[in-house]
Structure 1
Amino acid sequence: MKVMVSICIPTYNGEQFIKETLNSIKSQSYTNFEVVVSDDNSTDNTLEVVRKFAEEVDFPIYIFHHRPKGIGANWNNSIRRANGKYIKFLFQDDLLEPNCLNEMVSIFGFNNEIGLVVSKRKFLVEKSMKTERTNKWIERHADLQAHLHLPSRRINILNRNFFSSPQFYTSPFNKIGEPSVVMFPKSVFEEVGEFDERLEQILDYEYWYRILKKHEIAIIDESLVKFRIHDQQATNVNRNRQILDYLLYPKILYQNYFWLLHPKVQKQLWLTFHPVPRVIRKLKQIFNRYPL
């Protein structure tokens, strides 16, 4: 029998696109799955749409109410509630291709070291976001692995040696993808811990790299997800609120990945965060201000 997959959908005021998202689940060729909806106290008709949809399908849909504590807390809650062997994130505005679950689950059977499977994605750009700024963002982020010099094959494997690659610490820092494009065993979640709820902008790839420290990541060279770009998605809302926790990323690398990084990156981070260079800079400032 096929193993169960938990499709985890963190929701908040997502009525505009949630029905389309759910329909993409109904179209899956893989049939052994459950849907776990963790809702952050939506004030629109999101849950009404989900409940009505649940009455029309023959697969289980569970709805859990969650006291809002940030997006990371909602992600964690959806995973904790999951019963499946594998976790497949799907955000309330994104879509799965019909073969998504089947393709991702099959990869785990090839290699016991794999802790995360990721696919490429296509973009669905809403009319309000069809701007020059969006076009430039898509051009830059269309293929997050484009500059990694990976072999031309359907499946590529990243291991922890990637941290020492010169390409690792280059923009864009997220070389893996958004949550909707990944699948991972729930046992990995139990092993590496929960998403860091203090973060907003970088909590996804901070987590993928945490997994990469212990497991391999398989990259499928096929678009299995459609990623929607609209003005109310979390990234755009967070940008408008000037949530810039991506500035914490270098410090996270310094504290948790230093000895895995390329020597040039190590030097850069050491000069920034180690107390000795900071003391030297402070002394230079003092001597320049009060010369002998």
Structure 2
Amino acid sequence: MLPFFSIIIPTLNEELFVKKILGDLAKQKVKNFETIVVDGNSKDKTRQIILTYQRKIPITLLRRNPPNLPLQKNLGAKQAKGSYLLFLDADMSVSPSFTKAAERLIRNKKGLVFQPYLFPLEKDEYPEVSTVYPLVNKLIEFSQNFNKPFSAGPAMFWERKVFLTIGGFDNIFGEDHQIIRKAHTWVCVQNFSPA
């Protein structure tokens, strides 16, 4: 059976962070996904750590040299088998019910592009940063009503066919904002949801 999600994680020297996101994925209540990690030729133990998680969750490890974030994401998308692509950063964290809730949201809303609200991992560690998240979430939500939508970048869900049809991420800085604008020109509206 094909996975509902292909979770794509670009990495470059992420040995301090990648354990957390892979551990979170291993704890998912619903295993409706495959994981594709595209490493940009890390010089630390990132790849070795990823390989230890292959016993717990289905992981495909790809390499891209030289590293290039948009091209790493696109390489993962081209290898994906899931109906939806989910792009996560290596330093993110997700709850054990994340994939279950995300699939339910997608099936209920029938969207092509989704962007969940983002929250800081530790509210008390950097309080000045924590206060920015609600503002950014509201600005993104508000931007969807105009001809210049934007995105926070991480944790974007795409219907795989739509992502590949519009050509994936452009090889530029700010590729996450650019792809939302590109999708908008194809009359794809981003669903921005707190759930």
Residues 61-110 of structure 1 deviation map (CA, whole Å, 9 limit, x = unaligned): 11111112521111111111211111111111111122222222223323
Question: Rg larger in 1 or in 2?
Answer: 1
Kindly tell me the number of residue pairs found equivalent between the two proteins. Answer: 193
Q: Higher relative contact order by CA 8 Å / sep ≥ 6: 1 or 2?
A: 2
Distance 1:30 1:212, change over 3 A: farther
The runs of 5 or more residues in structure 2 that have no matched partner are none
Report what 1:282 is aligned to: none
Give the 4+ runs in structure 1 shifted more than 6 A.
none
One-letter amino acid of the structure 2 residue matched with residue 107 of structure 1? L
For 1:33, the equivalent position in structure 2 comes to: 33
Contact 2:15 2:49 in 1 (8 A): yes
Residue 15 of structure 1: CA displacement?
Answer: 0.4
1:162 pairs with 2:146 = yes
Q: 1:32 to 1:206 in 2, by over 3 A?
A: same
Q: Give the aligned partner of residue 212 of structure 1.
A: 184
SS in 2 for 1:95: coil
Which residue matches 2:103? Answer: 105
The alpha-carbon distance between structure 1 residues 64 and 205, as it changes in their structure 2 partners (threshold 3 A), is: same
* Partner Cα distance (2:181, 2:66) in 1: 26
Q: Which residue of 2 aligns with 1:117?
A: 114
Q: Distance in 1 between matches of 2:15 and 2:194?
A: 31
* Equivalent residue number for residue 153 of structure 2: 178
1:125 CA drift (Å) = 5.5
**Structure 1 stretches of 5 or more lacking a match?**
151-157, 223-292
TM-fit CA distance, 1:148 = 7.2
What one-letter code is carried by the residue in structure 1 that aligns with 2:13? Answer: N
Counterparts of 2:36 and 2:91, CA distance in 1 = 15
Return the letter of the residue paired with 2:28: Q
2:87 pairs with 1:89: yes
Per-residue CA deviation, residues 224-278 of structure 1 (Å, 9 max, x unaligned), is: xxxxxxxxxxxxxxxxxxxxxxxxxxxxxxxxxxxxxxxxxxxxxxxxxxxxxxx
Q: Deviations over 1:181-213 (max 9, x none)?
A: 22111101111112111x12x110111222233
3-state secondary structure, aligned to 2:121: strand
RMSD of the alignment, in Å? 2.6
CA contact (8 A) 1:37 1:63 kept: yes
Alignment of 1:197-236 (within 5 A): 197=171, 199-200=172-173, 202-213=174-185, 214-222=187-195
1:53, 1:178 → 2: CA distance? 25
CA displacement, residues 39-69 of structure 1 (integer Å, 9 cap, x when unaligned): 11011000111111212x1x31111111125
SS of 1:6's equivalent in the other structure is strand
Question: 1:192 aligned to 166, 179, 185, which one?
Answer: 166
Corresponding position of 1:9: 9
Name the % identity.
22
